[in-house]
Amino acid sequence: MSWPSNYPDPEDNDRKPAETSAAAPSPSGILKDFKVGFTLAVKNFLSFGLAMLGIILITILLLLLIVLFILIPILFTLGLPFLIQLVETIATGFQTTTGLTLVMLIMFLVLPILGPFFVALGAIFGMARELVESDGTQAESAFSWYGKRGLSLLGGGAIHFLITLAPLVIAFLAISYPTWNPPSDEELRVIIPLIVVWIILVNGMLSLTYPGIIDGLSAVKAAGRSVRLACQFPVRVLGAWLIITVLVTIPLIPVINEVAFLWAPIIPSDLLEPYGALAILTLLFVIVPAVSIVLTRIYMILTAKVDATYTQGADST
Amino acid sequence: MNPKVSHPRIKEFEVVTNPKIIKLLLDGTRKDIVFNYLVNEPMTVKQLSDAMKKKPGTVLHHVQKLKNAGIIQLVETRETPRGIVERYYRAVAREFRLGISERMSAYDDDTVASKDRVRAALLGLSTLGIHISESDFEHAHDLLQRLIDREAEVAKVYDSPSNHAFQSLPPSTRYDVSYRMSQFLLSQDALYRKTLSDWHDLISHYLRKIESEMV
């Protein structure tokens, strides 16, 4: 125990007190995040472009490897007739299975296929981290993240996927057990917006998982930290995530609006094909790198504030 | 290099006892990051990569490993006008001392025999009170390596597998013959004598230091 001092330590004027709360969040911080994100993404377009091409190639190869990893042992041990029978059984299974079994079957088949995409996205976040922290990156450095953080990135993607789908699985079970009882149109009017809100909110809360994994955390710890940061700084994290959702959705609306929303065509049908290609290329080569830079930057600034190492007031959040 | 970055107080020395962390520090790049740069002042990944002429990604990878091991810490985060978020890292202590038993257990016998016998021998000197400092370590390593290399070359002269008469001697006799013969051959080698003299000077320096500390 010590006596309170009448002579407190002099204030250190060089060091601005670290902000550890979301007391003064302002939109200008988010706007700067996006300005910096898009500026760096465009300046490093070549590096990101080459990396993205390589990553797409590796993802295709990994998918082929996964398929071969499953098919070749079956072919050599059980033969082609068994394989054909297996495909037929799975196809029949999809038609006859309902409830939890069907959901599990779909997730079991989909997760390994999504795996390479999760790691590929993580590699882009690795490049973004190099860029945000050291103002430089190279296309080949994307591939080094496959080896360094590949498994954790896979785990991070799986966490996103499973948490996003969890309520949908529960809802599906609720309407399918004990008897198939689909929701009415009125119920769907409530359910669908709720699902959209859930998907946006959960992925927003988990949006800093990948930057956390790149920072050296395990997938679970990174997800936990992302949720904590989103709770402490909701305007910065969820605000940025809403903008990202809009940025990703808007270019795709003319392509998917007829199927998804049953709207009238926004652009003429003969322009739809070139527009779709252009939208996807923009998404892959500009928006995804920019978004990864934005989220990495937000993660680095917010963790510095939490750890009380952020000392410069250039950022206004 | 970074006059604007505040220099937080750091410990004078840290005793490292975890063999995994010791192994981590034995890596060349990580050793340079800690002992050449971050013990002196806080630096960013970019500054380190520029100074070491290595890719930022490579340096970042090593920095993260050192940070997770608790050898270095994040001391400051600053944002540049261009929006780059600079993280300044610094070693947690000015000097790192390794616990003797832990130092030796960082090597298993096979590793010592095949990989880094010289480094293990230098660390083993700690058991005799001779703690080679980080600044002398590379020099000492170089000297001892040269001595061992030359001794191995000289041994090949007489210790030939095809010399069945020599190989059939009892081990203790063979050792005595080898020892005397190598002593003679090495005494004729001027370069070896010079290296040995440098090595003796280095050891003498540490022995004198021990004596003065005892006084």
Is A15 in Cβ contact with B74 (below 8 Å)? Answer: no
Helix (H, G, I), strand (E, B) or coil at B103: helix
Domain-wise residue ranges, chain A: 27-306
Bigger pLDDT: B83 vs A222: A222
**B78 forms bridges with which residues in the sheet?**
B86
Least confident of A46-60, A175-189, B106-120, B194-208: B106-120
Alpha carbon B185 to its chain's center: 30
H or E element at residue B83 = none
For every one of its 317 residues, what pLDDT tens digit does chain A have, with 9 covering 90 and above? Answer: 333 333 333 333 334 434 444 444 445 688 899 999 999 999 999 988 898 888 888 888 888 887 787 777 777 777 777 777 777 776 776 666 555 566 666 666 676 677 788 888 889 999 999 999 988 888 888 888 888 888 898 899 888 888 888 777 777 777 766 676 767 777 777 777 888 888 889 999 999 999 999 998 999 999 999 999 999 999 999 999 999 999 988 888 887 776 666 667 777 778 888 888 898 899 889 999 999 999 999 999 999 988 877 776 544 44
Within 10 angstroms of residue A87's Cβ, the number of other Cβ atoms is 10
Q: How far apart are CA B101 and CA A146, in angstroms?
A: 37
Is A133 in Cβ contact with B85 (below 8 Å)? Answer: yes
Burial class (CB in 10 A: 0-12, 13-18, 19+), A22: middle
> Residues B32-46: what's their mean pLDDT?
90
What six digits make up the tokens of A281? Answer: 């290329």
Distance from CA of A151 to the nearest CA of B (A): 16
Contacts across the A-B interface (CB distance below 8 Å): 87
What six digits make up the tokens of A26? Answer: 């302002």
Residue pair A267/A254 in contact by the 8 Å Cβ criterion? yes
Collect all residues with Cβ–Cβ distance below 8 Å to A227 and sequence separation of at least 6: A205, A206
Is B77 in Cβ contact with A311 (below 8 Å)? Answer: yes
Q: Hey, what domains does chain B have and what are their CATH numbers?
A: 11-106 (1.10.10.10), 118-214 (no CATH)
Nearest-CA neighbor of A240 among A19, A14, A28?
A28
pLDDT at B53 over 60: yes
Distance from CA of B98 to the nearest CA of A (A): 25
Q: How far apart are CA B2 and CA A154, in angstroms?
A: 38
The DSSP bridge pattern shows strands B93-98 and B11-16 to be: parallel
Q: Considering only alpha carbons, which residue of chain A is nearest residue B60?
A: A130
Please state the ipTM of this predicted complex: 0.70
Name the band, by pLDDT with cuts 50, 70 and 90, for residue B51: very high
Q: Phi then psi for B75, rounded to 5 degrees?
A: -110, -20
